[in-house]
Amino acid sequence: MSETRSGAQPLHPGIVPNVLELERVTKTYGTQPPVHALRGVSFTVRRGELVAIVGPSGSGKSTLLHILGTLDRPSEGTVRIDGEDVASLTDRQLASLRARSIGFVFQQFFLSEHTTVLENVADGLLYGGASRAERRERAAEALNRVGLEDRAGFRPSKLSGGQRQRVAIARALVGRPAIVLADEPTGNLDSGTGASIIELLHELNADGATILVITHDGGLAARMPRQLHVLDGRIVTDSGARSMEGV
């Protein structure tokens, strides 16, 4: 299953395109005194990467998540998602980009208890223009991808915490986004269940999904192929590049 919306291939075979690019991104909140949440953040993520963004509370990683998810705009700098410069987009265009290119996974799951698991996943396509039949078909495919095809008719209240997180991951994947942002995806799970979710993320990544995991848990981050460490609004180390301390 392709994770891109168009199935486009790289212009040059063997060259993996960037799905996410940040260039000297800053975010300053106009409080007194001003809060400098991000200070010149630059990095790229190639299609098919599995990356952890890790940092303590107050480091700037939540602000970074909001900017990556187009839920907030940077004060300065450039953000490109799937080739589009988000600074040039209106709010409506940003919402469209978000709907087609970004999948979200949160530690709170955010599932509706009034609908079935299948319907919860299908809701991930509500703003994509798909017919009801297509939404249900693709939701069934996504549930199969996370190993929950036999729970399609259940209500979320009948599932374990790990199963509910799998439903949330299926919902994030159903639109075949360019990138999945997982915010503390194991935060509400016990260690054994959390380990199974991390294993699932690795499996999905091996199948082609581009995933960023935002976490304060250094142990979880260490299980990712690449880690970006955030401190005081800066990327201080990137395991996929040289140390950036002092830059």
Which pLDDT score, from 0 to 100, does residue 5 have?
39
H or E segment to which residue 61 belongs: helix 61-68
Q: Please determine, for residue 12, whether its predicted confidence score (pLDDT) is greater than 90.
A: no
**Sorting pLDDT into bands at 50, 70 and 90, what band is 16?**
confident
Which pLDDT score, from 0 to 100, does residue 128 have?
72
Domains and CATH numbers, the chain: 18-238 (3.40.50.300)
Q: How many CB atoms lie within 10 A of CB 83?
A: 13
**Reading across the β-sheet that carries 76-81, which strands appear in turn?**
35-46, 18-29, 76-81, 84-85
**Sorting pLDDT into bands at 50, 70 and 90, what band is 18?**
very high
Distance from the first to the final alpha carbon of the chain? 40
Question: What percentage of the chain exceeds 70 in pLDDT?
Answer: 91
Which pLDDT score, from 0 to 100, does residue 47 have?
95
Residue pLDDT, tens place only, 32-64 = 889 999 999 999 999 999 999 999 999 999 999
Q: What is the reported pTM? A: 0.88
Average pLDDT, the chain: 89
Alpha-carbon gap, residue 142 to 160, rounded angstroms:
18
Tokens of 44: 């790229």
Residue pLDDT, tens place only, 117-166 = 999 999 988 877 788 999 999 999 999 999 999 999 999 999 999 999 99
Alpha-carbon gap, residue 181 to 61, rounded angstroms:
12
H or E segment to which residue 200 belongs: helix 191-206
Q: How is 32-51 classified by DSSP, letter by letter?
A: SS-EEEEEEEEEEEETT-EE
Q: Please determine, for residue 115, whether its predicted confidence score (pLDDT) is greater than 50.
A: yes
